């Protein structure tokens, strides 16, 4: 596979990658490895509920990071703070203000870690999913990085140049755990309600894994 050489902002080679899960970060990781970028994964996702689902997603991401020898920072699961910030937004739709808060919270902590550990660039795997609003994510990323002089948010479009297709290919090749909802308890509730309206089964945690011949289901 021929890949273009990627250049982070400012020509820096050291990047902190906020990762939401293995399926979304798999392509981002391999793209940066192919460009010789020295990066560390920062896993900070206190939105994911329940804890069993959080551990499933995190462990899958650790497995892939270890395979590539990429450093992995396992940050706090401070879900009490996440719920405090989500108060009053329980019935907001996906891509609305609750999601802005959720991205802000995750990126604020990522930016602080980047600042404290001399990373000049931070980026995220969140925008590679077609279920997400990339402009919303990029706004949050730039806002989080802006208080720190010398820190840039890299708003690279990881979907382009075949990235979205490779994300699925890698997920199948690695047989990653395939989550069926965005992450928070409210997205789980809304997904189940949607499924019930369609006469489908409710989400079962820990059940779905990508396989080599499976069609794309969720990102
Ligand atoms: S739907 Fe997803 S992005 Fe939005 S608040 Fe829930 S976990 Fe966060």
In the chain the domains, ranked by start, together with CATH numbers, are 12-172 (3.40.50.620)
Which residues make Cβ contacts (< 8 Å) with residue 136, sequence separation at least 6?
95, 99, 100, 103
Of 94, 17, 3, 81, nearest to 46 by C-alpha is: 81
> How close is the Cα of 98 to the center of ligand 1, in Å?
7
Which residues make Cβ contacts (< 8 Å) with residue 194, sequence separation at least 6?
none
| pLDDT tops 60 at residue 4 | yes
To the nearest whole percent, how much of the chain has pLDDT over 90? 92
| pLDDT tops 90 at residue 92 | yes
| pLDDT tops 80 at residue 154 | yes
| pLDDT tops 70 at residue 39 | yes
Task: Look at residue 158 in the predicted model and tell me its pLDDT.
Answer: 94
> How close is the Cα of 29 to the center of ligand 1, in Å?
22
182 is in an annotated binding site: no
Which atom in ligand 1 lies closest to the alpha carbon of residue 183? Answer: 7
Q: What's the chain's average pLDDT?
A: 95
What is the chain's Cα-based Rg?
17
> How close is the Cα of 187 to the center of ligand 1, in Å?
6
Mean pLDDT of 181-210: 97
Any residues with Cβ below 6 Å from ligand 1, and which? 47, 94, 98-99, 102, 182-184, 186-187
């Amino acid at each position: 596979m021929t890949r273009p050489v990627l250049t982070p902002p400012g020509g820096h080679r050291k990047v902190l990658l906020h990762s939401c899960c293995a399926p979304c970060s798999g392509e981002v990781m391999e793209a940066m490895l192919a460009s010789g970028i020295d990066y560390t994964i920062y896993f900070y996702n206190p939105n994911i509920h329940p804890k069993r689902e959080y551990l499933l997603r995190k462990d899958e991401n650790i497995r892939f990071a270890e395979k590539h020898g990429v450093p992995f920072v396992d940050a706090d699961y401070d879900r009490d703070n996440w719920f405090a910030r989500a108060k009053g937004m329980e019935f907001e739709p996906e891509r609305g203000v609750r999601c802005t808060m959720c991205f802000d919270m995750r990126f604020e902590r990522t930016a602080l870690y980047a600042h404290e550990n001399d990373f000049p660039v931070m980026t995220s795997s969140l925008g590679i999913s077609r279920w997400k609003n990339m402009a919303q994510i990029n706004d949050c990323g730039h806002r989080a990085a802006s208080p720190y002089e010398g820190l840039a948010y890299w708003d690279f479009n990881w979907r382009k140049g075949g990235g979205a297709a490779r994300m699925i290919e890698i997920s199948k090749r690695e047989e990653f755990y395939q989550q069926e909802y965005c992450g928070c308890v409210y997205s789980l509730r809304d997904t189940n309600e949607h499924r019930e309206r369609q006469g489908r089964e409710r989400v079962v945690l820990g059940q779905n894994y990508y396989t080599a011949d499976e069609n794309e289901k969720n990102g």
